[in-house]
Amino acid sequence: MVFVRKRIALVALIGLLLSPAARAELTAASPFTDNMVLQRDLACPVWGKADAGQKVEVKFGQQAKSATADADGKWMLKLDPLPASHQPAEMTITAGDKTLTLKNILVGDVWICSGQSNMAFGLGSSTGGKEAAEKANIPGIRLLMVPKRASPEPVDSITIKWSACTPETAVRFSAVGFYFGRDLHEKLKVPIGLIHTNYGGTPAQAWTSKSALAAVPELAYYIAAAEKMVADFKLADLQKQVTEAKAAGKPVPTTQPRKPNLTHLPGGLYNAMIHPLVPFGIRGAIWYQGEANAGNVQKAIEYRTLLPAMIKDWRTNWGQGDFPFLFVQLANFREPPKSVPQAAGEQPWAMLREAQTRTLSLPNTAMAVIIDVGEAKDIHPRDKLTVGQRLALGARAVAYGEKLIHSGPTFDAMKVDANKAVLSFKNIGGGLVARGSAHGNLSGFTIAGADGKFVTAAAKIEGDTVVVTGEGIATPAAVRYNWANNPDGNLYNKEDLPAVPFRTDLADPRATMPAK
């Protein structure tokens, strides 16, 4: 009898040890690793998993905070706001007899660096990038690379690890992100954490949660289309299996629906490459994307709604208010136009640039104009230094409140004086400049009269205005500047920042748009 009781007790103990609750491990969320940067001046969330109902304690510096794991084993707490510090510190996370120790942690500013291939473009492949990488022993900058993957549903955990910025880690990192972070580190003298989460050739709807898309009437069709694509593919696969199983009967369809590409499905990249980071403390985000949404004028116009929806989605889900969101306007690309574009929609990249400009109506945003660094035959311009520097200017103004000019001249108003269109601008800084022209002659302007036919314009700087005229135009009705996929405008301010492309005729060519 004693033997039986001992045997039962042993079996019970083994069962307890093998039960899911007993086997549960204490974990911190994916972004919490050695070498990380915690966001300064913010009540930073710290979260992870433990046994259900277990008390978890986090110690960092002089702070000790605790939380209790819920029924699913999830726990979260917030540290009190911390000042910036280059002094490496440790974080200990304890639950019961289990302890995690994270080492070499700094406190500073954390930035998300996201988008498609031009943000993913490695430092070592950019102009001067290998030389920059060789000098990139910068202990105050930390780098985190998120693996490229997509998922139909949100993913809570991924395998990632922070690393110190060294020549070996920097050379593979986003060139734009590196230059942006290096500039801020030099100017602010605080640690900088950069999170590289990018996927080449991907559209903005894949970086937006499905719930956010579904909530916008103009974008909800993405959800229905994706669900139909998935359903059709599953149905086709089932039909094929049935046909093979019966070895007779229904023939395999001659055209199989395309297997869904998760990297293009709504929410596919948000689920796998953004959701696992939320709500890690951040200062803001930089974004370089748009090429994949500029295929036609319809998509370009839609971007006016899509990009703001994505930004609002991220801000809502992060729960850190309207954090700074800085984005890059599309560079010049493709062959320059052989004639003056007439319908605005002839140039979809110009239309998408306009959509990006309109997004500046959201609070705490800035745009880096790079209409002068593109390459006609390469969608991946090699000059990433200029891009990173201009983004850093935007961050210093929007995120850090510096009083500086961070944008080129921005169209403000037009008035007509006889045969002249007189244009005024914001962000003129030290004054307007015709870059590269000894006589102050401007290029890139076109003008139209009441008939709406645009012609190449003559334009000159007069004080803080630009005066535009055109042959045969007695009374100007509209002016465009750099309105082409690859324009040649040379209007800058004395801070050497290019003017933002614009048009004064705002009617949309919707009648000629292709169907969705």
Model confidence over 220-267: pLDDT tens digits?
Answer: 999 988 887 777 666 555 555 556 656 666 665 545 556 678 899 999
Cβ of 73: how many Cβ atoms within 10 Å?
19
Whether residue 95 lies inside any domain: the answer is no
pLDDT (0 to 100) of residue 229: 72
Would you give the DSSP letter of residue 258?
P
Residue 17 has pLDDT above 50, yes or no: no
Task: Look up residue 32 and give its two tokens.
Answer: 């919490």
pLDDT (0 to 100) of residue 507: 62
Whether residue 505 lies inside any domain: the answer is yes
157, 201, 263, 506, 510 from 206: Cα distances, Å: 19, 11, 6, 29, 25
Model pLDDT for residues 277-319, shown as the tens digit of each residue: 999 999 999 999 999 999 999 999 999 999 999 999 999 999 9
The per-residue pLDDT of the chain, averaged, comes to: 91
pLDDT (0 to 100) of residue 194: 99
pLDDT category at 513 given cuts 50, 70, 90 is very low
Whether residue 439 lies inside any domain: the answer is yes
Whether residue 367 lies inside any domain: the answer is no
Residue 515 has pLDDT above 50, yes or no: no
Give me the mean pLDDT over the 139-155 stretch: 96
Task: Look up residue 391 and give its two tokens.
Answer: 């983004």
Task: Give the angle subtended at the CA of 159 by the CAs of 156 and 160, to the nearest 5°.
Answer: 110
Whether residue 293 lies inside any domain: the answer is no
Amino acid of residue 42:
L
Largest Cα span, the chain: 112
Would you give the DSSP letter of residue 272?
I
Whether residue 443 lies inside any domain: the answer is yes
Residue 183 has pLDDT above 70, yes or no: yes
Model pLDDT for residues 70-103, shown as the tens digit of each residue: 999 999 999 999 999 999 999 999 999 999 999 9
Whether residue 85 lies inside any domain: the answer is no
Which range of residues forms the domain containing residue 456?
A: 410-512
Buried residues in 282-304 as b, exposed as e (16+ CB within 10 A) = bbbbbbbbbbbbbeebbbbbbbb
E strands, 50-132, are 55-60, 63-68, 74-78, 85-95, 98-115
Alpha-carbon distance 283 to 470, whole Å?
A: 47
pLDDT (0 to 100) of residue 3: 43
Residue 514 has pLDDT above 60, yes or no: no
How many folded domains does the chain comprise? 1
Whether residue 135 lies inside any domain: the answer is no
Q: For residues 384, 180, 499 and 337, what is the CA-based torsion angle, rounded to 10 degrees?
A: 20
Alpha-carbon distance 24 to 111, whole Å?
A: 32
